[in-house]
A and B are shown apart, each in its own frame.
Chain A
Amino acid sequence: MERLNHIIKRILFLIPLILVISFLAFCLVRVAPGGPFDSERKPASKEIEKNLAARYHLDQPVWKQYLYFLNGIAHGDLGASLKYRNHTVTDIIKQGLPISMMLGLLSFGLALGIGVPLGFIAAIRKGTWVDYSATLLALAAICVPGFILSPMLILIFSIYLGIFPVALWGSFSHIVLPVFALGIYFSGRVARLTREGMITALQSDFIVTARAKGLSDFSIYFKHALRLGILPVLSYSGPLLADLLTGSFIVENIFQIPGIGVFMVNSSLNRDYTMVVGLALVYSILLLFLNLLVDILYSYLDPRIKLQ
């Protein structure tokens, strides 16, 4: 019961935080000089420019625009995209987000599926060649930029071997390469965190006790140490999932996947104000809720930590 109260309190606390974040995102893109219509055909008359600005409330002071925006949100409307006319931001997010989320979830699974075992093995064989090669592998995964990994994967698996399609989004076989391109980097991060967490866990007193009691290696590693050693990965999972679920620019761009990762970057480059704020809002809300979820899970896995 007390725990439930805590959780409700924390959720309520998120509301002002989200307001501040959305306001900051709102101001941030607006500080940039130049507006979203600067690249329009130039001979357009002053009247047309004025009308455009009035249509999107761009002639009002920033705080008033923000109030318009908040009013829109209250009606479930994030406004119209300034660059993709005839599309509302809500529409674009509704179309793209599920695709990005699916790609992100699968990549998250891959990152954990490769990263946790790799880090685990490295930790229990610490200081041996197994550890060194696992560490090297994990670091290599982090150090190869995505925009080089993706074309390489396409070149090898689509063009030379012809196993998977080059790009686009549709059947299962379309999903494989982008998931690897996205997941491999994060599996490296996860492996490093798992290794560190496991090493710390294996040094703690209760493991020494468990060993002294004569428990089997299997039970020490899997039942006792892993539960504690996985915690760094758990805390990383919040930001990681928020990143993955909101799409990756590089992977979506190279594989021509209609997610929202591409919009995130393009809209900030194009100063598509409503779009940037809408997407930033999605990201922030996702991140805050995931972090809350992580904290709750954390307190279950490590009872020494109390939910604050």
Chain B
Amino acid sequence: MSRILSPSRLAFRRFKKNRLAVISAVYLVLLLVFILIYPFFSDVDPNETSEFINTAPSLSHLFGTDDHGRDLFSRTLYGTRISFLVGSVGALVSLVIGVLWGATAGYLGGKIDSIMMRFVDVLYSLPSIVFVIALMTSLEGITQQWFSETGLLQGNSGHIVRMLFLFIGLGAVSWLTMARIVRGQVLSLREMAFVEASRILGASHLRIILRHIIPNIAGVAIVYLALTVPAIILNESFLSYLGIGVQPPQASLGSLIAGGAGQINPLKIYWWTILYPTSLLVTVLLSLNFLGDGLRDALDPRNVK
């Protein structure tokens, strides 16, 4: 074959060969489409309580109902949406901080680089759970005070604020590895011949960063981003278990599972309150991980055969 393929096309071809990754991608897309269009076809309110408490799955309630008589099918789909939202926005926050921090350190080099990376080391050596909790509680306290003083955002806005802090808090503890990876890449890119050539030709720093550095770290960043999303979803579920995740009656997959797991007792097990959200969470996390692995194998130039 004499056609010359672009690197991205080659990467796509490698990705297609990875069956697990392709299946995962298809599953995730179908799931996303389904949870996004579902609200338009159903008028079941995920937060509406009823007298049918803890009923087993049936035709009217496909996944059964929970301890408040809420329909678990719509709650699970709704929770999946929230989990995806928290995971992807949190990952984006970590991407922005991590890339900016790492690229700045790597590009400037020298003293600034070592100070910035020592800071990352210090944050690494703090127990991250303490970090998240302190961050979340302090941010929340400060803004609640601020909101009540200024009178902005009244009434039922607590869950929006909480969600914002989940994004920021989870993103803020997940950027460290991204910063390290990006910094390493930039450090070696900076010394590459083509960057030097461009510098000799009189290109500005901005042009070098936009034209040469960013496109070359995009691959690594995308791969790591794909692997950060499931990590953040899992972290959010832990925070939900602690009671500082999404605010009820809002639900994430994690808070649904935590709610179900809290009701496990040897006499009567409402298995549907755990089984469905758990299977959804596990399959989502699995396919996100497979997708990330597949992307890494496809985009990593070392794998070119």
Contacts and interface: CB of A to CB of B under 8 A. Distances in A.
Contacts of A17: 121-122, 125
Contacts, number: 110
B274 A143 contact: no
Contacts of A136: 286
Interface in A24-38: 24-25, 28-29, 31-34
A147 B133 CA distance: 18
A62 interface: no
A250 B122 contact: no
B278 interface: yes
A15 interface: no
Interface string B69-94: 00000000000000000000000000
15 contacts: A20-B122, A21-B126, A29-B134, A31-B134, A32-B134, A132-B20, A143-B230, A145-B241, A147-B238, A147-B257, A147-B261, A155-B266, A249-B242, A268-B130, A280-B127
Interface stretch (B2-10, B135-143, B178-186, B217-225): B135-143
A163 interface: no
B116 interface: no
A28 B254 CA distance: 26
B234 interface: yes
A140 B137 contact: no
Given A17-B121, A287-B125, A143 B131 contact: no
B122 A24 contact: yes
Contact of A147 (B20, B129, B241, B269): B241
Contact of B127 (A144, A271, A279): A279
A265 B289 contact: no
Contacts of A276: 130, 134
Given A33-B142, A269-B242, A145 B130 contact: no
B112 interface: no
B172 to A, nearest CB: 12
A154 to B, nearest CB: 8
A114 interface: no
Contacts of A182: none
Interface residues of A, number: 41
Nearest to B138: A32
A152 to B, nearest CB: 9
A28 B134 contact: yes
A144 B20 CA distance: 19
Contacts of B241: 145, 147, 250
A27 to B, nearest CB: 9
Interface string B256-291: 011001001010010000100010011001100110
Interface string A149-189: 00100010001000000000000000000000000000000
Contacts of A148: 257, 261, 274, 278
B258 A147 contact: yes
Interface residues of B, number: 41
A268 B244 CA distance: 12
Interface of A: 17, 20-21, 24-25, 28-29, 31-34, 132, 136, 139-140, 142-148, 151, 155, 159, 239, 246, 249-250, 264-265, 268-269, 271, 276, 279-280, 283-284, 287-288
A220 to B, nearest CB: 22
Given A139-B290, A143-B230, A145-B238, A264 B266 contact: no
B264 A28 contact: no
B211 to A, nearest CB: 32
B21 to A, nearest CB: 12
A135 B238 CA distance: 24
Of B125, B237, B285, chain A has the most CB atoms within 10 Å of the CB of B125
Given A144-B278, A145-B241, 12 more contacts: A17-B121, A21-B126, A24-B123, A132-B20, A143-B286, A147-B237, A148-B274, A249-B242, A265-B133, A268-B130, A279-B130, A287-B125
A151 B238 CA distance: 15
Nearest to B260: A148
Contacts of B266: 155, 159
Given A28-B134, A32-B141, A283 B282 contact: no
B129 A268 contact: yes
Given A28-B134, A280-B127, A139 B242 contact: no
